[in-house]
Amino acid sequence: MKLIADGGSTKASWCLICPGKEELYFNTEGYNPYYVDSQYIRQSLHRALPAEVPREAVTEVHFYGAGCEPSTEAVIIAALGALFGSAAVSAGSDLLAAARALLGNEPGFAAILGTGTNTCLYDGAQVTHSIDPLGYMLGDEGSGSYIGKKLLIAYCREYLPLPLRREFLSVYGLTKENIMERVYKGPLANRFCAGFAKFVKLHLDDAFVYQLAKDAFHDFFRSLVCHYPDYASYTLNCTGSVAFHFEDMLKETAACYGMRTGRIIQDPIRGLAHYYRQQDIFAPSSFPSPPRS
State the sign of the Cα–Cα–Cα–Cα dihedral 34, 37, 42, 48.
Answer: negative
Taking residue 190's Cβ as centre, other Cβ atoms within 10 Å add up to: 21
Q: Which amino acid is at 148?
A: G
Q: Which long-range contacts (CB under 8 A, 24 or more apart) does 151-157 make?
A: 151/196, 151/197, 151/199, 151/200, 151/209, 151/212, 152/179, 152/183, 152/193, 152/196, 154/208, 154/212, 155/179, 156/180
Distance set, CA 158 to CA 153, 162, 168, 222 (Å): 8, 8, 12, 27
Find out if CATH 1.10.720.160 is the number for domain 138-214.
Answer: yes
Q: How far apart, in whole angstroms, are the C-alpha atoms of residue 10 and residue 66?
A: 10
Distance set, CA 7 to CA 12, 15, 216, 227, 266 (Å): 4, 12, 25, 28, 14
Helix (H, G, I), strand (E, B) or coil at 117: strand
Q: What is the pLDDT of residue 11?
A: 82
124 torsion bin: left (phi>0), alpha (psi -120 to 50), beta (else): left
Query: For the chain, which residues make up each domain, given as ranges?
Result: 2-100+269-277, 138-214
Q: What is the pLDDT of residue 20?
A: 82
Q: What is the pLDDT of residue 284?
A: 42
Q: What is the pLDDT of residue 272?
A: 93
First to last CA, the chain: 37
pLDDT tens for the chain, 293 residues long, are 899 999 876 788 999 998 888 899 999 988 888 778 899 999 999 999 998 998 888 999 999 988 788 888 899 999 999 999 889 999 999 999 999 999 999 999 999 999 889 999 999 999 999 999 988 899 999 999 999 999 999 999 999 999 999 999 999 999 999 999 999 998 888 889 999 999 999 999 999 999 999 999 999 999 999 999 999 999 999 999 999 999 999 999 999 999 999 999 998 999 999 998 887 444 444 344 444 43
Please give the class, per CATH, of domain 2-100+269-277. alpha beta
Its pTM stands at: 0.84
Q: How far apart, in whole angstroms, are the C-alpha atoms of residue 293 and residue 290?
A: 10
Helix (H, G, I), strand (E, B) or coil at 5: strand
User: Which DSSP category does 81 fall into?
Assistant: H
CB 260 within 8 A of CB 96: no
CB 168 within 8 A of CB 160: yes
Q: What is the pLDDT of residue 176?
A: 96
